[in-house]
Amino acid sequence: MQARRWGCLVLVIAVVAGGVTWLVLVLRKPPAPACSAGQYSLTPDQAQNAATIAAVGMRLGMPDHAVTVALATVLQESKLRNLTGGDRDSAGLFQQRPSQGWGSYEQVTDPVYATTAFYQRLRQQPNWTQLSVTQAAQLVQRSGAPDAYAQWEPEARVLAGALTGQTPATLACHDLVLGTATAPALIAAANAELGTAAFTGRHDPAPGWALATWLVANATRFAVDRVTFDGQTWIAAEGKWSPTAPPDGMLTRHQTTPPT
């Protein structure tokens, strides 16, 4: 008997009494890694980029409305992907153009820089807090399709609520492939995006859930396989939030790779 494996197909050739019997066993492909917030699905990369946008907004003291505007903008411009190119010299999450004063190519393709630049320009717009999501986005982006941002407002609101901690235990990721990472890498990213790396310990509900959700969105990036906050635990192997302890406001995380 001979056996050979090609991808997800196992082919077994059995020689029986001078003849050949073909036995084919088709194995199911493993589920693709994914994240979800309410009814909306994202790839782990999209979730990570959304978490960066929300985190930078919180670090800069921007209101939740600004986070919704930024997320709706990026959903329209790049589908939450850090694109290497676009129309003319556009690039990055927001499709910002170096020729229009947004910064160098390296800067506009850096999610933290690009997001900071977007919020800074949004803050300069008169009465932007009183405008609709699509009106505020258009003031910054000056798109040829000014009404296009409106279609993304419902998803942007759900993501903003989850990532700013207003709607607890909303974003979860499943079937992740966790790599390896060091604690210093996680701390550096958290300080750059959130402005803090103080994860373990007691937190008020909304800030604590924002930190917990950021960790889940970055689980693949930093090999985080478990996050617990306020009586709820997300476990990478299970892919969901579940009640695990009395709510006490304590946030803990666990990395698959020991800190170095």
Q: What is the pLDDT of residues 51-109, one digit of tens each?
A: 999 999 999 999 999 999 999 999 999 999 999 987 889 999 999 999 999 999 999 99
pLDDT single digits (tens) 203-253: 999 999 999 999 999 999 999 999 999 999 999 999 999 999 878 888 988
C-alpha distances in Å from residue 88, one per residue of 84, 107, 115, 160, 217: 12, 17, 20, 30, 31
In the chain, where the domains are located: 44-164, 171-255
Distance (Å, whole) CA 114 – CA 120 = 10
